[in-house]
Structure 1
Amino acid sequence: MSSGVRGPLIITEVASKAELARFIRLPMRLNASDPAWIAPLISERQAALTPKSNPFFDHAEVQMWIASRDGRDVGRISAQIDALSPTDPQAPAGNFGMIAAEDDAEVFAKLLETAEAWLKARGCVSAVGPFNLSINEEVGLLVDGFDTPPMVMMGHDPAYAGPQIEAQGYVKAKDIYAYLSKMSDDMPEAVLRRVRRGAAPGVTLRMLDMKRYDAEVAALTDILNDAWSGNWGFTPTTEAETRQLAKALRAVIDHRMVWFAEIDGETAGFVAALPNLNEAIADLDGKLAPFGWAKLLWRLKVRRVKSIRVPLMGVKRKFAGTLRGQLLPFQLIDAAGGEARKLGYEQCEMSWILEDNLAMRNICERAGGRVYKTYRIYEKALA
């Protein structure tokens, strides 16, 4: 009979392929009983967390750890410092992320303590997160909306994780929202009439040109970095990072749901909608071999999933305040949404949106969206 005495927590730095595999697989075991959990593709996670294949590591220092007890992995965490992230030189901030653990206060405390010590040793006076790994990737901890599965490139966490992190002295820095709309929902009649009246003089809308894919990706990056530059926590996306993402998504992206707008011949804005890959991989348990790729492509290209996500949209700041520029988001959403409806998609998520980005929230709400998930970014001063 067991004495009920637990062994000590052991914290291990991830330094080998075997340890990285343990790090990646741990959330799959922790969340196995959650019906809303979707296991990410293991191959994709390996690429995202390997310096040779993720350009984020070119400008960031990253460390990952696993917590184990009695021979069983019970938690994980990362800490990272992004050289491109804005910070106060007099009070530099670092980030934590990738946090997942059993519902055990000691495990959460030890993981966060380990990440904090690493950040403090490198001069950071506050910790902000979770960022997995960058603010331009998966961001925030799910604090509302646990009953539905996450869409592509969005996270999912157990309900106990937020209270456990808060118990270690972390407080809300920002909330971010995911909006959900039905493809059958129309924008308000007044907006719709103006959108369908036709483009204003000098405004042209067009689909993504796959023959010029690399140039289109470069244009998208340029707009994105300009349009988002005033947002809280803005960190520019490098062309290498966008190229890597575009390469990873090329097999599943549909050019009919990526639209650009030009004003007087200058590329001024874009919207990108992606098929919800999570819907297609929900029963693959993170594995593509031996038949996963065939299933995935058949589900995306033939059977088709029923939902899409809009992760990226922007209008250059020089145009955003003009009458033509203010209408562009609605025109782009209408164009991409019209194609999505033709392809049989039924739901659309627009995410993620900062709680105080009122302009973007207004666009989402006028486009028929409602907040259905809330993610929280935490911060803590490091004594």
Structure 2
Amino acid sequence: MSVTISKINDKESLRKFVHFGIDLYEGNEYYVPPLIYDELATLNRAKNPAFDHCEATYFLAYRDNEIVGRIAVMINYKANERWNHKQARFGFVDFIDDVEVVDALFGAAESWARFRGMEKILGPMGFTDLDHEGMLVEGFDQMGTMATIYNYPYYVDHMYRMGYIKDQDWVEFLITIPRELPERFMRASEIVKRRSGVEVKHFARKDDVYPYAKDIFRLINKAYKEIYGYVELTERQIDYYVDMYIPMLRLDFLTVVIRQEDNKLIGVGIGLPSMSTALQKSRGRFMPTGWYHLYKALKGKDNKVLDLLLVAVDPEYQGKGITALLFNEFIPAAIRLGFEYAESNVELETNHKVHSMWDDLEAKQTKRRRAFIKEL
């Protein structure tokens, strides 16, 4: 039977769109499903403030009334203005290993983009840099993280077959947490505090974080402004992400660096105990029992892997040792709580300043992801 493409136009179809991305990987030991509630909110025009400057549509591929593929295609007009190009993005893409299915899905996405005057299509990308991005091209035998995409190896073969080429790569590292804090971090942190007039802010309760919450995302805007594909978050998006992420924080792995003279936020590091196994057990569902697995991963003592979600430093202070302050906090907390490894999550392959953070630690590159691009 031939493949048919259906455009999503109701909540029930949107749920099918999200669930297909989970069902396709049933039984795969490396795939980590998203939290379904968050995925639905991201794709919902009424909930996601990215739609203030984005346009999107979602397609499902069917054969014999069975879903065999999905793809989202987006235009971030703010990104196109910022980077002076006419690009569409594809993302949230999954499919069976079938030429007809893949060609029908991407054909629909490319036609939609071309009709709107776009000259290229790029992906996998999301609405913002905080969404999942980058197709896995190396590390298929490694457990994914809640912040990244997992895909089968055959995805990559289809991308090249259709004429897509590499635009950018990200790499990921697995870091062995040392049994004691390296002396370099202790020594460097004291020098940085004295020379730069900064200090680490500690929080006893999550409520104490909220006065700094918006400034954390404003700092991310400032620090990431020139990074590949990044588009500054609007105030509405900042409010959205504050509500989404601050309740999830584990204060042991939130490090905030402020300038003493005016209490200005100039650096932040955020980590989170790995939620990968918990999401696998819950299959992305919070209810009825998913919350227990997630809570246990976040608070329990059996979790041995820490996800390093992000580090952001004010450009004025970059290269001045602020990262030493961050690790001077992270490493003792990880040792105290029994963590053995840390996942770096995605880093641009060209961002050698970030890679250098692992120079004094035992770190191994385990994964590589790719953004593919094609002329329309």
Please indicate, yes or no, whether the TM-score normalized by the shorter chain is above 0.5. Answer: yes
Contact 1:279/1:305 (<8 A) preserved: no
Superposition deviation, residue 299 in structure 1: 3.6
Deviation at 1:204, TM superposition (A): 0.6
Asked if the contact 2:175–2:363 (Cα under 8 Å) also holds between the matched residues in 1, the reply is yes
Distance 1:90 1:362, change over 3 A: closer
* Greater mean deviation of Cα atoms: 282-291 or 223-232: 282-291
After superposition, the Cα gap between the structure-2 partners of 1:95 and 1:367, relative to the gap in structure 1 and judged at 3 Å, is same
Match of 2:175 in 1: 181
Mean Cα deviation higher: 261-270 or 217-226? 261-270
Equivalent residue for 1:229?
Answer: 225
The answer as to 2:191 corresponding to 1:205 is: no
1:304: Cα distance to partner?
5.0
- The residue number in structure 2 matching 1:332 is 326
- Extract unaligned runs of 5+ from structure 2: none
Check 1:31–1:165 CA distance in 2 against 1; reply closer, same or farther (3 A cut).
Answer: same
- 1:360 partner SS: helix
Aligned counterpart, 1:351: 345
Give 1:25 deviation, angstroms. Answer: 1.1
Equivalent residue pairs, number: 372
In structure 2, the CA distance between the partners of 1:198 and 1:52, relative to structure 1 (3 Å rule), is same
| Contact 1:253/1:275 (8 A) holds in 2 | no
Q: Does 1:124 align with 2:122?
A: no
SS at match of 2:194: coil
2:31 corresponds to 1:37 = yes
How far apart are residue 218 of structure 1 and its match?
1.1
Instruction: State the partner residue of 1:3.
Output: none
Consecutive unaligned residues in structure 1, runs of 5 or more: 1-6
Structure 1 stretch displaced more, 251-260 or 116-125:
251-260
CA deviation after TM superposition for structure 1 residue 277, in Å: 1.8
Q: Structure 1 residues 67-76 or 309-318, which shifts more?
A: 309-318
Contact 1:143-1:159 at 8 Å conserved across structures: yes
Closer, same or farther in 2 for the Cα pair 1:344/1:26, shift >3 Å?
same
Distance of aligned partners of 1:30 and 1:335 in 2 relative to their CA distance in 1, 3 Å threshold: same
| Contact 1:86/1:233 (<8 A) preserved | no
Matches within 5 A, 1:165-314: 165-184=159-178, 190=184, 193-195=187-189, 199-201=193-195, 202-208=197-203, 210-265=206-261, 266-314=264-312
Question: Against the structure 1 CA distance between its residues 319 and 112, is the aligned structure 2 distance closer, same or farther, given a 3 Å change threshold?
Answer: same
Aligned partner of residue 261 in structure 1, secondary structure: strand
On the 8 A contact 1:24/1:45 being kept in 2, the answer is yes
- The alpha carbon displacement at 1:11 in A equals 0.3
Does residue 18 (structure 1) correspond to residue 17 (structure 2)? The answer is: no
Q: Alpha carbons of 1:9 and 1:242: their partners in 2 closer, same or farther (altered >3 Å)? A: same
| 1:196 to partner: Cα distance | 5.7
Deviation of the 1:121 alpha carbon? 1.1
What root-mean-square deviation, in Å, do the aligned CA atoms of Structure 1 and Structure 2 show? 2.2
- Where 2:272 maps in the other structure, the secondary structure is strand
2:315 maps to a residue whose letter is R
Amino acid at match of 1:312: L
Report the 3-state secondary structure (helix = DSSP H, G, I; strand = E; otherwise coil) of the residue aligned with 1:84. Answer: helix
Would the alpha carbon gap of residues 159 and 226 (structure 1) be closer, same or farther in structure 2, given more than 3 Å must change?
A: same
**Alpha-carbon distance in structure 1 between the residues aligned to 2:208 and 2:80:** 32
Distance in 2 between residues matched to 1:189 and 1:214, nearest whole Å:
33
**How has the CA–CA distance of structure 1 residues 243 and 336 changed in structure 2, closer, same or farther, with 3 Å as cutoff?**
farther
- Describe the shift of the 1:196–1:310 C-alpha distance in structure 2 as closer, same or farther (beyond 3 A): same
Letter in 2 for 1:214: Y
Distance 2:346 2:359 in 1: 14
Partner of 2:22: 28
